[in-house]
Amino acid sequence: MSNRSLTPEEQFIIYHDRLRYELNTAYTYYEIAKYLGKFSHTRRSEFIEAQTFFQVTIDANLFAAVMTINRGFVDNRGDCLQLDGFFDVVRVNLNLFSTEAFKKRQAGKGMSPEDIEHWAKLHIEITPEMVREDEERVKNVPIDNLKSWRNKKLAHIDKQQAVKNISVMKAKPVTVGEIDGILMTLDGILNRYLVAYNGTSWAIGLPPVKPEIEYVMDAIKSFRQSRKERK
């Protein structure tokens, strides 16, 4: 295995992609929890058939979403990704996000000179002020309760015990609006730097699990109907 040091470009991409993976994972857990939660109203008959199962599943996914946000963006332990470290990489390598570096990258991908000049006119270079602005945005998202879950209740517990400690969510609630705001803020921050780097952005989204959840609900509905017919 090579012992060479990573280039600034490699550092940025590796850091960005790992943080993006954590964010998308948190979003998936969170959206599953919200989607199942809606069934308590829209498909109540099926929901109450296995109410304990669905409620525990909702809580477990919400729990996983919050802990993933903690791990990737809030926690400052050495084994966590640390968004502050990402900002440091950007800050000391601002030249990566210059218009000239952007143009060279597009040329390396085979883009025509005309298209390069077109997109270069729309390119926004990253400045130290922008980095400070994003650091403040992170400080201002409602993460106090996320930190409380980590510091007061969830430090060093076994993953298999985690679901048993979900009562902390009632003691230190995090609202749907707060989690939405946190996820969208982090998504916007990560995309800002990726767009400046190579002109692309990620679309935060959910894997195709909703049809599978609908399938489960339909199966429960069919079971209920067949049970009624047998009576």
Q: Compute φ and ψ for 125, nearest 5 degrees.
A: -75, 145
Q: What is the pLDDT of residues 46-73, one digit of tens each?
A: 777 767 777 777 778 877 887 888 777 7
Residue 37 has pLDDT above 50, yes or no: yes
Q: 31 versus 87: which is more confidently predicted?
A: 87
pLDDT at 171 (0 to 100)? 55
Record the pTM. Answer: 0.75
Asked if 197 contacts 126 with a C-beta cutoff of 8 angstroms, the reply is no
Spell out the residues 6+ positions from residue 77 whose beta carbon is closer than 8 angstroms to its own: none
Q: What is the pLDDT of residues 139-190, one digit of tens each?
A: 887 666 666 655 544 443 344 444 444 444 555 556 666 788 888 999 999 9
Spell out the residues 6+ positions from residue 162 whose beta carbon is closer than 8 angstroms to its own: 63, 67, 154
Tokens of 66: 């919050």
Strand, coil or helix: 149: helix
Q: 204 versus 201: which is more confidently predicted?
A: 201
**Which H or E run includes 194?**
helix 176-198
pLDDT at 52 (0 to 100)? 74
Q: Say how many C-beta atoms besides its own lie within 10 A of residue 135's C-beta.
A: 15
Q: What is the pLDDT of residues 77-133, one digit of tens each?
A: 555 557 888 999 999 999 999 999 999 999 999 999 999 999 999 999 999 999 999
Cα gap 108→64, rounded to integer Å: 40
